[in-house]
Structure 1
């Protein structure tokens, strides 16, 4: 443009600066006077004409440059596609499709960040040369490598969430997974929220995607009986159960409860004194507010009861002063009381098919049994 003439430095600047890549006015002058980039030849007339004919080549929804900000645009579009796929009516195996596409979205987002920060995100050999594919293209970091880099911009709970999905993706690629949608939905929800938060934090709130994804309308409501039947009917392949158990075993209770690792949402009817005040179907309440704490108490009591394995119940008794209470005694007790009978408040289906979880009332009942047994278990 400088060689052809017809534009001053200020006009040329307007063609090259954008929100994610600002160009200083001084740089244009330094290029003109050859104080910078002297060794770079001017584009020929055909290249300049093509550039002018396609400018501004921007994404209409964000204003991002289709060429210069390609990684960020792809990241947003991949996550939007993942959510649309999961929410699509009529699909049966939605979680698998979401996970594969979401991993692509996160990979592009990490690449966009490292590129902006000047980090070379290509694999290199010991001698420093860039590794290439058999076709001769540069090999870029996969998501797992991006998350392990020292300059990874997301926190540990987010990394743990993505590591869980990456391990699950390997199971998806190499084995048949059956239906896993319900079992991992909290992890998928956290993945979406984490992505949007990272997008806004790293690149700007104007690129958030929540406005592109409306609230999903529901055709059904779930009562406690329906929920229990759904959980009972759900079956997971043993390989998936083993994978999930192994991953969760490596996390503390606090890490598993972090919403960035698994995000759980509870829907309750919203009532108002006036009809107009009840139109909004969803209201977000801070967990540390008085209303949020009250809701949490209700959830812990009626919706998401703490579940104990038999091993944990036995350990609690031994730690409580009854070292002689063992697994055989526990089995004899629940069988004698028919504690697993429908309608009794002692337990219910565990987190995975084939498991049984004991509730707090059962722990209290076992403790009472130990106390009533004198020195039998001491």
Structure 2
């Protein structure tokens, strides 16, 4: 199921990126990619994903085989609450588009729904990795496409023209679908993933990427406000000075250890366990490395002026996910953790409760 899901996902992205690609084929292949992925999850978790007759309790059969849940039913079962509403609503929109798309307007619809299509593929990747691990990531197979549509004045004009030419029925489908939808869901990047390409001018190293992803959750409040304002006003930056962002992560190793330890029932050392973890996950190079900038930017960056490494909030969450229980710690380090005593745990709980009261 996973292999078939991957095949359809790659075919879908190929259709999208190819200059002669077909939007209907993108919809069809992503539909099947999501369907087989969720079926694989249910199979792995022992969930029966076949329809049953409500009166007899017997399986509904098609050509002698039990009828498996369709994608809409799978989405309802996988995302039953509001926590992941943006993911579910994004996928449901493309189910609706697949059923209604008019072939002669495919190109226009592809342009108008670009951000939502990007979110559909990214949500698929995150769901796949979350349930089956990094070995099943498609990140090494997919690249950011070279595009002219958004990089020229003519391309931007074509985008506006495409939206205006969509037939009323298709425009109404999207409008009705989003009517009554919580604004927070519509603004969620998992529902509509929009980006602004900003050229970076300045010195670079061999480790720099042509396209670098900046996680919205890693930005400061001030940086987020700038991003939101730019999105509202439609500001387009065509050239900018090189801006140093090495301090964006903010967390030293000792701070990482303190934050991790505060959420665990055992001790966590900045120069013991933490060092072992960044080495095992190749988050940063060793102290005497030829190029100290070769870090995993998701979790760590090198602050060249002060010659030290800083870590992200995402790294804190990664550490807790990997060794956050006694069993996980033992499996990772091959030893028992140093447990906190009762007095320490009570003091920690009191501190947490006090912090909650102050914030309230």
Instruction: Determine the C-alpha separation between the residues in 2 that align with 1:241 and 1:275.
Output: 44
User: Is the contact between residue 13 and residue 26 of structure 2 (CA under 8 Å) also seen in structure 1?
Assistant: yes
Aligned with 2:190 (options 251, 257, 260): 260
Give me the TM-score of the superposition, normalised by structure 2.
Answer: 0.58
User: Is the contact between residue 149 and residue 156 of structure 2 (CA under 8 Å) also seen in structure 1?
Assistant: no
**CA displacement 1:148-194 (0-9 Å, x = unmatched):** 2277698211110011111111103x886443111111111000000
Instruction: Determine the C-alpha separation between the residues in 2 that align with 1:178 and 1:212.
Output: 26
Instruction: Determine the C-alpha separation between the residues in 2 that align with 1:150 and 1:90.
Output: 34
Determine if the alignment matches structure 1 residue 211 to structure 2 residue 140.
yes
Aligned with 1:298 (options 206, 230, 235): 230
Instruction: Determine the C-alpha separation between the residues in 2 that align with 1:277 and 1:227.
Output: 32
**CA displacement 1:125-150 (0-9 Å, x = unmatched):** 121211111x2222111011111227
**CA displacement 1:313-347 (0-9 Å, x = unmatched):** xxxxxxxxxxxxxxxxxxxxxxxxxxxxxxxxxxx
Cα distance change, pair 278–148 in 1 and its aligned pair in 2 (3 A): closer
Higher-Rg member (1/2): 1
User: Is the contact between residue 270 and residue 282 of structure 1 (CA under 8 Å) also seen in structure 2?
Assistant: no
Instruction: Determine the C-alpha separation between the residues in 2 that align with 1:221 and 1:123.
Output: 45
Aligned with 2:119 (options 186, 190, 198): 190
Where does residue 360 of structure 1 map in the other structure? none
Instruction: Determine the C-alpha separation between the residues in 2 that align with 1:146 and 1:166.
Output: 12
What are structure 1's unaligned runs of at least 5 residues? Answer: 1-70, 305-378
1:257, distance to aligned residue in structure 2 (A) = 0.7
What is the number of residues matched between the two proteins? 229
1:302, distance to aligned residue in structure 2 (A) = 3.2
SS of match in other structure, 1:212? coil
Give me the TM-score of the superposition, normalised by structure 1.
Answer: 0.55
Cα distance change, pair 224–296 in 1 and its aligned pair in 2 (3 A): farther
Where does residue 118 of structure 1 map in the other structure? 46
User: Is the contact between residue 103 and residue 143 of structure 1 (CA under 8 Å) also seen in structure 2?
Assistant: yes
Q: CA RMSD in A?
A: 2.6
Instruction: Determine the C-alpha separation between the residues in 2 that align with 1:277 and 1:295.
Output: 28
Instruction: Determine the C-alpha separation between the residues in 2 that align with 1:237 and 1:114.
Output: 38
Where does residue 245 of structure 1 map in the other structure? 175
Where does residue 89 of structure 2 map in the other structure? 160
Aligned with 2:76 (options 145, 148, 161): 148
1:276, distance to aligned residue in structure 2 (A) = 4.0
What are structure 2's unaligned runs of at least 5 residues? Answer: 237-360
Superposed counterparts of 1:265-280, under 5 Å: 265-272=195-202, 274=203, 276=205, 280=209
User: Is the contact between residue 82 and residue 97 of structure 1 (CA under 8 Å) also seen in structure 2?
Assistant: yes
Instruction: Determine the C-alpha separation between the residues in 2 that align with 1:199 and 1:190.
Output: 14
**CA displacement 1:60-86 (0-9 Å, x = unmatched):** xxxxxxxxxxx1111122111110111
